[in-house]
Structure 1
Amino acid sequence: MNMITIILWALANQVTSQTNDISSAKILAQQKTISENSDLYLTCSAFGKKKQISVTVYLCKGDLWIDKKLQKQDQNDTTFTIQRVGLHHSGNYSCVYSTRGDLPTKVTKKREPIEIVVISNFLPADISVAAPSDVHEGDDVAFRCIVSGPLQTLGECQLIHSYLMRNQTILQVQAFNVPGMEANFTIEGAVVRDSGHYSCVVLPSKCIQEGEKTLYGNNTVLVEVKESLIFRLIASFGVIALMILLGLCLWWINKQGGYFASNSCVADQQADMTEEWQVQREGEDLDAQFDSFSMEQDEEYQNLGDEDFTYSADHEGVYSVAEDPPAGPVYAMSIRALP
């Protein structure tokens, strides 16, 4: 019995000495609310508490220390960095320091913790569709996205972004009303290609790295847009009207082409007639000139008659050209006396 008492007393003294050798340090954080995949910076300060000695500073989460660093005697602050935090890094953080570098994992020293909250980059939301069972082309399709449970945001934002997705592809971006805990999306004038599985995602943090994660919602709704007979008739009528218009255009072009060709033919005929008329006029002018020349020659020959004729004794006169005949053809004729 005495041996057991001695052992328990020794253990109690050891624990007491360890506790007395541990001191609480003040913890500081640049941001107490941080987005997922960001770096968390925590500073443990022993200013005004530590003597001018070297100590080991321990960063604690809950009752367990998770990291430690040596702090020299001329230092008072030690900064710890947790890179690319995840949601599991949310919790209460604190700092202690000790001259010992081999403290047990669990720290029982009373501390002054701070709470660190890690906000998810995206949060799956519940989606519902406010539309009739049958959606046809031209109908409007309305979606409602809600988040069940508390929603934490960076900087206590009242409006954050939310995405409407179709088949895992972002389709629309809309503001999510944090006080109302909902967002509404509308597809106006739906067409067949709008068919697919729709889901909704809320982004409580500032941004999300493209390609970093696949976004998905809590659930999906299937929307099937059926082809409308009216739209089909309108499309068919439009094609027919276009073909008729094209035919009229071709007919008008052909008609104008025939008209131009006819005018060209008439112009060619008029040109031929004009040319023929000019040739005829030129021929008539040549004939008139020839007739005028003949008449002048006849008059000249008659003027030569009285002066150049000689007569014989038997009244059968024969005239001959004078000794100095004019240049030109020589004419001879006989004249007999009338009985």
Structure 2
Amino acid sequence: MSTIAVLLCALMMQVTSQTNVNVSDISPARILAQQKTVSENSDLHLTCSTFGFKKVQMVYVYLCKEGVGTSVLMQKHDQNDTVFIIPRVGRHHSGNYSCVYSKTKYSAIEVAKTGHNTIQILVIANFLPGDISFAGPSTVSEGDNVEFRCTLSETLQTLGECHLIQSYLRNNKSILQVQAFNVTRMEATFTIESAVMRDSGHYSCVLLPSKCIENHDTIPYGNNAVFIEVRVSLFVRVIISCGVIGLMLLLGACLWLIRNKQGQMIDQSVVYNSCAASQQPSANVFEEPQEQTEGVDLESLDRESLNSEEEEWNENDSPYYDDCEEQGVYSMVDDPPARPGSRFVYAKSFKHKSNWSPDFPVG
């Protein structure tokens, strides 16, 4: 559509300027180019040559695109080549170029003629927005693999007829992966293995038909974007919950054991103190006979021993007796049977576990 509009404008200008431009004064020249396919934002160099066409004289050379003049330069009489430089070309600079010259200087747009030969210039875009898609729901679980497919709906032109070019997978505003785009199949595949929550976001793809890649910050977005949300899997949630509950139970059991152990130590301390307090009176029972053995007849000693034994039995009825026996302070043993004719008769006696024995003989 733009080409048709340019041609119509050129035709109108030619009709309106027929009185100003002498068509016979416009002569064809040859055009040369080192590269016919260039990348976007690079400089385009075109050479117009009048060698073999002009006589030794000064002329004006015109660079024409689609048969309409775009630029004009003066060529000295001792020169045959004139170089036109188009800086930072864009995709709109693609087209058919030729050269003409004239002895008279005209406005470039007034010149409408095709030169001796024509060359086609193709400007390759640095970046092309691609179309991205993926199979499956937009919500996936952690650990799942996500596969994207990047395609291109328009005609693809590459530098040097490449079979593979680079393509980018973008996540939000950052470049996530770089993959080879198959020019024959017109697609590229991106795979995110074992997705995690930080992989959530909007995804798009961009193609790089040219090799001129300088700054990733200037990469545009794709034609569309898809949103992926990565959630924690139910299995992981169950494992975490069970671990927390088990840790709480283990902590509670440890606290219960510590408290139970402290209670047992307190009870044992109370019993031990009670037994220690009851040990002193029992020892005095055995000490009294030692102090009164001298100068006392046997009958009075026998009666005092029997009375002392009854008092000891009454003391054993106290609640501390059982506890002391369990703690190993005292033990009760049976005395051997009395010998015939003995004046001392004991039914039972107490024996201290520390192997204490009276100084005087019994029996």
When normalised by structure 1's length, the TM-score is 0.64
Partners of 2:208 and 2:109 lie apart in 1 by 37
1:73 equivalent to 2:85? Answer no
Percent of residue pairs identical: 62
What SS does the aligned partner of 1:121 have? coil
AA aligned to 2:74 is L
Q: Which runs of 5+ in 2 are unaligned?
A: 1-14, 250-363
SS in 2 for 1:199: strand
Query: Is the radius of gyration larger for structure 1 or structure 2?
Result: 1
Question: Secondary structure of 2:160's partner?
Answer: helix
Which letter maps to 2:208? Answer: L
- Contact residue 59 and residue 74 of structure 2 kept, 8 A: yes
Counterpart residue type for residue 118 of structure 1: V
- CA–CA distance in 2 between the matches of 1:148 and 1:242? 57
1:240–1:19 Cα change, 3 Å: same
Query: Is structure 2 residue 49 aligned with structure 1 residue 45?
Result: yes
Kept after mapping to 1: 8 A contact 2:99/2:114: no
Question: What is residue 92 of structure 1 aligned with on the other side?
Answer: 96
Residue aligning to 1:59: 63
Decide whether aligned partners of structure 1 residues 238 and 181 sit closer, same or farther in structure 2, where only a CA change above 3 A counts: farther
Contact 2:98–2:114 at 8 Å: present in 1 too?
no
Map of 1:125 onto structure 2: 130
* Alignment partners' CA distance in 2, 1:212 and 1:167: 13
Q: Which amino acid aligns with 2:143?
A: G
Name 2:159's counterpart in structure 1.
154
Alignment of 1:96-111 (within 5 A): 96-103=100-107, 105-111=109-115
Is the contact made by 2:170 and 2:203 (CA closer than 8 Å) also made in structure 1?
Answer: yes
Match of 1:223 in 2: 228
2:233 alignment partner AA: S
**Counterpart secondary structure, 1:105:** helix
- Give the AA of the match of 1:69: L
Does 1:137 find its partner at 2:142? yes
Q: Quick one: distance in 1 between partners of 2:84 and 2:182?
A: 36
Asked if the contact 2:95–2:122 (Cα under 8 Å) also holds between the matched residues in 1, the reply is: yes
2:28 is equivalent to residue 24 of structure 1 = yes
Match for 1:187 among 192, 204, 212?
192
How far did residue 238 of structure 1 move? 7.4
Residue of structure 2 equivalent to 1:34: 38
Distance (Å, rounded) in 1 between the aligned partners of 2:209 and 2:108? 38
Structure 1 pair 190–45 and aligned structure 2 pair: CA distance change class (3 A): same
Instruction: Give RMSD over aligned pairs.
Output: 2.7
**Matched-pair contact (CA < 8 Å) for 1:24–1:95:** yes
Native 8 Å contact 1:131 1:142 kept in 2: no
For residues 42 and 132 of structure 1, the distance between their equivalents in structure 2, rounded to whole angstroms, comes to 53
- Residue 175 of structure 1 deviates from its aligned partner by 0.2
**Partner-residue secondary structure (3-state), 1:231:** helix
Q: How many residues align?
A: 233
Q: Where do 1:225-304 residues align within 5 Å? A: 225-234=230-239
User: What TM-score, normalized by structure 2, do the two folds share?
Assistant: 0.59
Q: Retained in 1: the 8 A contact 2:27–2:101?
A: yes
Q: Aligned partners of 2:217, 2:28: CA distance in 1, in Å?
A: 39
Contact 1:126 1:219 in 2 (8 A): yes
1:153-174: CA deviations, max 9, x gaps? Answer: 0000000000000102100000
In the superposition, relative to structure 1, how do residues 51 and 175 fare at CA in structure 2: closer, same or farther (>3 Å)? same
Structure 1: distance between partners of 2:222 and 2:111: 41
Contact 1:55 1:100 in 2 (8 A): yes
Letter in 2 for 1:68: V
Please state whether the residue corresponding to 1:224 is helix, strand or coil.
strand
Give the secondary-structure state (helix, strand or coil) at the position aligned to 1:232.
helix
Shift of 1:226: 1.5
* The one of 183, 203, 217 aligned to 2:208: 203
- Cα distance in 1 for residues equivalent to 2:23 and 2:184: 47
Q: Which residue of 1 aligns with 2:170?
A: 165
In structure 2, the CA distance between the partners of 1:85 and 1:230, relative to structure 1 (3 Å rule), is same
Aligned equivalents of 2:171 and 2:247: distance in 1? Answer: 35
1:61 Cα deviation after fit: 1.3
